[in-house]
């Protein structure tokens, strides 16, 4: 990429669209974020995406845009730029890359959001020489991204990397996906909140009862972190258990994929990174094969909410041979 | 490959060496198998391999050999043809490809034995168009091979695909690897035999008590199959449980890799294929994500003991651009 060339990276989610414009060093020069609950059910949902992109480009001073990258939840067909299916967005076989490419007259690449988050944390992190990378992003769900031989893995369905649905407990609690004992059912923020709700109802967390009462929707990652800082040991135990189980799933990924790099990201990690690091390291020690785990570095992502949009921009640059 | 060109495929194990010569259609034209317990501790273990290869080539009528492929247990460095580490064989950083290449003056390729078994069952099976393949081989241990985008996955350590060491039960029984609750500790032939031994000691399997007494070393896969054919329901339950757990591990692999094809092979599958197919299908239905599992075909390998040697020959042909 030349110094007068810019790329747009877009992160499309169920309740927000984030568009960033990056320069040839992948620094963000402008950012437009729209909270748009319900927009995906519009007749032409692409209009909101186009509007967000246009605003971010305007904010950047209308530079020369040489490509657009876009990240969306759910399985994708990256070759044809089609979102196959997103329960969150309600799209099916939505040819978003083609639509945007016609509108903006530049190349558009598409990939899954978690894949792109992993991609950005890898290539913009200190371990970009790694060839095999696993990204794990615990939050409301638990997403995963896989890189093998420096390429994103999509698998036959376009939806490889369903790390949250690794079975860890065969007769375990029901998961949102309908199966039992998935990592997500045991260790997502919803699973953690479920356990904390019981603490509150039993009167075992004074701090949280004071802070959120019995409104479980208020138990955000930051509130959980505050409770632990205030010495709530039972809350800490719940988080440690979830982090450990996330670590067992990561150990399984290490046994299967043998990566050099595991990247952790997402809201829970940002708020509770130290506990997650400790418990994941413990679980990996107990459940990954020694000759596989000694090759692995486990790192916390640094890009926060920009990771997906930056990954989209990076992938676009790579596909355009501009990286 | 021309019709007068032949390739040698070698399967090196702890107690045997198998060398086959294949023609340009990958039909086996000769086969030499040596049982050689303890041979790997020879000062020059390559001599036994060379001897076995030479005998197989002689048996084939000394045709023109254009390459040799070799499969060995444990992690490998396929680029440099080095066996990194094989607890079974006692080798460490053994440059087998280089040694054989110098001796025979032909290109030699090396890969892990289970990877090559998967490779052969895939490319010589009916589903060779698949791009993403998982091979699972239950036996004394439970080995795995992964193909992503038509390439064998080695990972950072050279030892990716440790399917037998996926944790399925966090506080489960001890595994040979030192961890707890690995698939192998729950569902290998050793694990099945352990459970059957208890049946025998409790006097709950008349058939097996008659057949093997209390000598557990005699409980081979075929004996187990016979017991089930004779209506021993408790033996069948033990096998079904192991097969189901193998299926849960396969479901996890489907959730992670999203393959089109899962290949099952090895002694237990050969003897007890129907039960394994049923239980694995049930486990996959219960533990793999619907949109991932509907893309997958689960098949039983057809190549038996020749799979690894054939895979070695195929990989050699491919690396020589002769496939």
DSSP per residue over A252-318, as a string?
Answer: HHHHHH--SEEEE-SHHHHHHHHHHHHHHHHHHHHHS-HHHHTT-EEEE-S-GGGHHHHHHHHHHHH
Residue A250, token pair as written in the block: 């990561």
**Which residues are CB-contacts of A266 (< 8 A; sequence separation ≥ 6)?**
A137, A138, A139, A143
Contacts of A289 in chain B (CB under 8 A): 159, 162, 165, 177, 179
CB B247 within 8 A of CB A139: no
Give me the residues of A, 273-292, that contact B with CB < 8 A.
Answer: 286-287, 289-292
* Lowest pLDDT segment from A79-88, A169-178, B139-148: A79-88
In angstroms, the separation between the Cα of residue A251 and the nearest Cα of chain B is 8
**Which residues are CB-contacts of B221 (< 8 A; sequence separation ≥ 6)?**
B189, B267, B268, B270, B271, B272
| Coil, strand or helix at B21 | strand
Average pLDDT over residues B192-199: 95
Q: Is the ipTM of this complex over 0.85?
A: yes
**β-bridge mates for residue A28, sequence order:** A22
pLDDT of the residue at B86: 80
In angstroms, the separation between the Cα of residue B163 and the nearest Cα of chain A is 6
Give the mean pLDDT of chain B.
94
* Lowest pLDDT segment from A31-40, B227-236, B275-284: A31-40
User: Across the interface, do B149 and A144 touch by the CB < 8 Å criterion?
Assistant: no
Question: Helix A189-201 to helix A233-257 angle, to the nearest 10 degrees?
Answer: 160
* Lowest pLDDT segment from A12-21, A94-103, A246-255: A12-21
Beta strands in B149-197 (DSSP E): 151-152
pLDDT of the residue at B40: 60
pLDDT of the residue at A249: 98
CA separation for the pair A87, A31 (Å, rounded): 27
Q: CB of B132 within 8 Å of any CB in chain A?
A: yes
Contacts of B292 in chain A (CB under 8 A): 155, 157, 159-160, 162
Q: CB of B151 within 8 Å of any CB in chain A?
A: yes
The pLDDT tens digits for B216-232 are 999 999 999 999 999 99
The pLDDT tens digits for A248-276 are 999 999 999 999 999 999 989 999 999 99
Residue A300, token pair as written in the block: 């916390």
CA separation for the pair A232, B129 (Å, rounded): 56
Q: Give the number of other Cβ atoms within 10 Å of residue B33's Cβ.
A: 16
Q: Which pLDDT band, with edges at 50, 70 and 90, does A82 fall under? A: very high
Contacts of B165 in chain A (CB under 8 A): 255, 289
CB A86 within 8 A of CB A13: no
Beta strands in chain B (DSSP E): 5-12, 16-22, 28-35, 64-72, 76-77, 82-86, 91-94, 108-112, 133-138, 142-148, 151-152, 261-264, 297-300
Which chain B residue lies closest to A181 (C-alpha atoms)?
Answer: B287
Contacts of A87 in chain B (CB under 8 A): none
User: Across the interface, do A160 and B256 touch by the CB < 8 Å criterion?
Assistant: yes
Q: Which pLDDT band, with edges at 50, 70 and 90, does A41 fall under? A: low
Residue B60, token pair as written in the block: 């084939």
State the pTM of this model: 0.95
Q: CB of A241 within 8 Å of any CB in chain B?
A: no
DSSP summary character for residue A2: -
Beta-strand relationship, B91-94 and B82-86: antiparallel
Which H or E run includes A169?
A: none
Q: Which pLDDT band, with edges at 50, 70 and 90, does A86 fall under? A: confident
Which chain B residue lies closest to A248 (C-alpha atoms)?
Answer: B167
Q: Which pLDDT band, with edges at 50, 70 and 90, does B245 fall under? A: very high
More confident residue, B138 or A43: B138
Q: CB of B156 within 8 Å of any CB in chain A?
A: yes
Residue A11, token pair as written in the block: 């992160």
**Which residues are CB-contacts of A125 (< 8 A; sequence separation ≥ 6)?**
A261, A263, A299, A301, A302
User: Across the interface, do A149 and B144 touch by the CB < 8 Å criterion?
Assistant: no
Q: CB of B157 within 8 Å of any CB in chain A?
A: yes
The pLDDT tens digits for A137-166 are 999 899 999 999 999 999 999 999 999 999
User: Across the interface, do A167 and B168 touch by the CB < 8 Å criterion?
Assistant: yes
B273, burial (CB in 10 Å: exposed 0-12, middle 13-18, buried 19+)? middle
Contacts of A148 in chain B (CB under 8 A): 148-149, 153
pLDDT at A91 over 70: yes
pLDDT of the residue at A89: 75
Q: Find the distance separating the first CA and the last CA of chain A, reported in whole Å.
A: 7
Closest CA to A316 of A69, A8, A18: A69
Maximum CA extent, chain B:
61
CA separation for the pair B201, B198 (Å, rounded): 5
Average pLDDT over residues A202-214: 93
Give one DSSP letter per residue of B34-82, joined into a string: EE-TTGGGSSSTHHHHHHHHHHHHHHTTS-EEEEEEEEESS-EETTTTE
DSSP summary character for residue B132: S
Question: Helix A189-201 to helix A221-229 angle, to the nearest 10 degrees?
Answer: 50
Which of A87, A156, A248 is the mutation pick for testing B, counting most B CBs within 10 A? A156
CA separation for the pair A134, A303 (Å, rounded): 16
pLDDT of the residue at A39: 64
Contacts of B153 in chain A (CB under 8 A): 148-149, 257
Tell me which residue has tokens 């080995």. Answer: B143
pLDDT at A303 over 80: yes
Tell me which residue has tokens 């992109």. Answer: A53
User: Across the interface, do B291 and A85 touch by the CB < 8 Å criterion?
Assistant: yes
pLDDT of the residue at A40: 60
Partner residue facing B131 (CB), from A85, A156, A259: A156
Average pLDDT over residues B260-269: 95
Contacts of A167 in chain B (CB under 8 A): 168, 248, 251-252, 255, 287
CA separation for the pair A1, A6 (Å, rounded): 8
pLDDT at A37 over 80: no
Percent residues over pLDDT 90 in chain B: 87
The pLDDT tens digits for B61-73 are 999 999 999 999 9
CA separation for the pair B144, B138 (Å, rounded): 9
Give me the residues of A, 66-85, that contact B with CB < 8 A.
Answer: 75, 85
Average pLDDT over residues A182-210: 95
CB pairs under 8 A between A and B: 153
Give the mean pLDDT of chain A.
94
User: Across the interface, do B130 and A292 touch by the CB < 8 Å criterion?
Assistant: no
| Coil, strand or helix at A117 | helix
In angstroms, the separation between the Cα of residue B313 and the nearest Cα of chain A is 24
The pLDDT tens digits for B99-132 are 999 999 999 999 999 999 999 999 999 999 999 9
CA separation for the pair B31, B38 (Å, rounded): 22
CA separation for the pair B309, B303 (Å, rounded): 10
**Which residues are CB-contacts of A81 (< 8 A; sequence separation ≥ 6)?**
A95, A96, A97, A98, A101, A108, A109, A110
DSSP summary character for residue B303: -
pLDDT at A308 over 90: yes
Average pLDDT over residues A288-296: 92
Which chain B residue lies closest to A252 (C-alpha atoms)?
Answer: B166
More confident residue, B161 or B2: B161
pLDDT of the residue at B295: 84
User: Across the interface, do A159 and B258 touch by the CB < 8 Å criterion?
Assistant: yes
Percent residues over pLDDT 70 in chain B: 97
CA separation for the pair B88, B141 (Å, rounded): 12
pLDDT at B92 over 80: yes
CA separation for the pair B319, B323 (Å, rounded): 8
| Coil, strand or helix at A140 | coil
Percent residues over pLDDT 70 in chain A: 97
In angstroms, the separation between the Cα of residue B171 and the nearest Cα of chain A is 10
CA-to-CA dists, residue A311 to A22, A93, A303, B309, angstroms: 11, 22, 10, 42
Residue B24, token pair as written in the block: 């340009």
DSSP summary character for residue A39: G
Contacts of A179 in chain B (CB under 8 A): 286-287, 289
CA separation for the pair A249, B176 (Å, rounded): 20
In angstroms, the separation between the Cα of residue A322 and the nearest Cα of chain B is 24
């Amino acid at each position: 990429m030349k110094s007068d060339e810019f790329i747009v990276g877009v992160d499309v989610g169920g309740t927000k669209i984030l568009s960033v414009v990056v320069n040839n060093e992948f620094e963000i020069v402008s950012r437009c974020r729209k909270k748009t609950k319900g927009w995906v059910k519009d007749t032409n949902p692409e209009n909101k995406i186009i509007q967000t992109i246009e605003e971010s480009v305007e904010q950047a001073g209308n530079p020369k845009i040489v490509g657009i990258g876009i990240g969306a939840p759910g399985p994708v067909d990256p070759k044809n730029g089609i979102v196959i299916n997103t329960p969150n967005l309600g799209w099916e076989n939505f040819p978003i890359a083609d639509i945007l490419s016609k509108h903006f007259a530049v190349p558009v690449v598409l990939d899954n959001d978690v894949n792109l988050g992993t991609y950005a944390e890898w290539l913009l992190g200190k371990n970009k020489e790694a060839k095999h990378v696993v990204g794990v992003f615990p939050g409301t769900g638990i997403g995963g991204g896989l890189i093998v031989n420096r390429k994103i893995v999509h698998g036959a369905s376009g939806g490889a990397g369903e790390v949250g649905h690794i079975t860890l407990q065969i007769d375990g609690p029901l998961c949102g996906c309908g199966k039992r004992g998935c990592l997500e059912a045991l260790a997502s923020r919803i699973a953690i909140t479920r356990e904390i709700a019981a603490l509150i109802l039993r009167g075992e967390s004074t701090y949280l009862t004071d802070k959120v009462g019995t409104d479980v929707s208020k138990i955000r990652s930051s509130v959980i972190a505050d409770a632990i800082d205030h010495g709530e040991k039972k809350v800490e135990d719940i988080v440690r258990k979830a982090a450990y189980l996330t670590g067992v799933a990561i150990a399984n990924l290490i046994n299967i994929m043998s990566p050099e790099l595991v990247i952790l990201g997402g809201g829970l990690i940002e708020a509770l990174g130290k506990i997650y690091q400790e418990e994941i390291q413990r679980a990996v020690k107990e459940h990954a094969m020694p000759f596989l785990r000694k090759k692995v570095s486990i790192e916390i992502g640094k890009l926060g909410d920009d990771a997906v949009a930056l990954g989209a921009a990076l992938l676009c640059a790579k596909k355009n041979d501009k990286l």
